[in-house]
Chains A and B, each alone.
Chain A
Amino acid sequence: MKLTSALLLALALTLWSLPGHADTAAGEAAFTANDCTACHYTDGPAKEKTIDDQLAKKGPELWYAGSKFQREWLEAWLQDPAPIRQMKFNSVTEFNAGDHPKLAAGDAANMADYLMSLTSDAVEAGVVKPKKNAKGRLIFTKKMPCSGCHQYEGRKKKLVGGRSGPSLVGAGMRLNPDWIYAYLLKPEIFKPVKAMPVFIGLLSEKDMKNVASYVANFK
């Protein structure tokens, strides 16, 4: 009996220590200890009602981080946070200084677990599959102004596109394809006040899926 208990305890400890099974509570503690709350809020729903509300934020809201990001990317990024936005958050005049704090591997794993636990019911799983979606590509690069604000990898891997929106280079590694679609479909849930146009009624739901599928294919 004692041997069985000891084996079970050892098994539990082994599973606990495996990558991807870090501590959500420790991640939340690290989030607070590292003063992440100074720039990111984690309690939804969205609080912004006016442009002033949006401009008062120093960083993106994270209350739906678990629906938006891919865990593997998140854990790596927290340890080596290369800028995603070329411009400073909420600025059209200052560039991103690239000074986001870095975390040690253990804290990054815990924090990734914590952030991935923050999800939104507005994101339906399994709707969008990443593809070289020709219709999505046409909309993204020609019919709609997406590339005017978002950087992406063009022909011959040349980086093209604008600077005011988050870069979409490698978006397929960073973002959940279903979140990209949900963000286009229900912007009022995720970002009620944003500099990106609302496309509801301008793009069909099918074409929003096409665009999401195309963007989710960016490696």
Chain B
Amino acid sequence: MMMKFTILAAFVFSFALATGSSGQAQEIEVEKVFKFYCAQCHGVSGKGDGPNVTEDFPVSPRNFTNAAEMNKLTNADIKNVVMDGGPSMSKSPMMPPWSKTLSEAEVDALIGHLRVLCNCKGKEG
């Protein structure tokens, strides 16, 4: 009986460890993906101030920390613009289409990250 309990406890403990580490890994990966692909225009902290935003840059990349602006967008709007680029939402072609570069799971994770940056839930829809 004691043996069975020990095995069960060990199983539960390792499951909890695995779940915890995988949850954390997912979060770190999203930040890494954001910094690698998005920060060049949107900035490391998402304020729209990446190194590409020179005085000649034709548009202002979205500031993800602006909750009022981010609340005007549904998650589906964001997904469209990330996957298919600015023109898919009548925005600037400076926003690239990432559909052939990022997986859908990475884009979904990025949307979650943007919602953390804006501390907002966005428009429903």
Contacts and interface: CB of A to CB of B under 8 A. Distances in A.
A145 interface: yes
A164 B52 contact: yes
B31 to A, nearest CB: 11
A94 B35 CA distance: 13
Interface string B46-76: 0000111010110000000000000000000
B110 interface: no
Contacts of A161: 56
Interface stretch (A12-20, A28-36, A100-108, A193-201): A193-201
Contacts of B40: 92, 149, 162, 164, 195
A56 interface: no
B100 A195 contact: no
Interface residues of B, number: 26
A113 B84 CA distance: 43
B57 to A, nearest CB: 7
Contacts, number: 66
A200 B39 CA distance: 23
B66 to A, nearest CB: 20
A142 interface: yes
A164 B33 contact: no
Contacts of A51: 32-33, 36
A181 to B, nearest CB: 17
A162 B54 contact: yes
Contacts of A201: 100
Contacts of B35: 92
Given A197-B101, A200-B100, A163 B52 contact: yes
Contacts of A148: 41, 52, 57, 94, 96
Interface string A77-103: 000000000110000110000000000
Contacts of B33: 51
A128 to B, nearest CB: 21
Given A145-B95, A160-B56, A202 B50 contact: no
Interface of B: 32-33, 35-37, 39-41, 44, 50-52, 54, 56-57, 85-86, 93-101
12 contacts: A92-B51, A93-B51, A142-B93, A144-B93, A148-B57, A148-B96, A164-B40, A195-B37, A197-B98, A200-B100, A201-B100, A202-B100
Closest 7 CB pairs of A and B: A162-B52, A164-B40, A198-B100, A197-B96, A145-B96, A148-B94, A163-B51
Given A93-B51, A162-B41, 6 more contacts: A92-B51, A142-B93, A162-B52, A162-B57, A163-B54, A195-B40
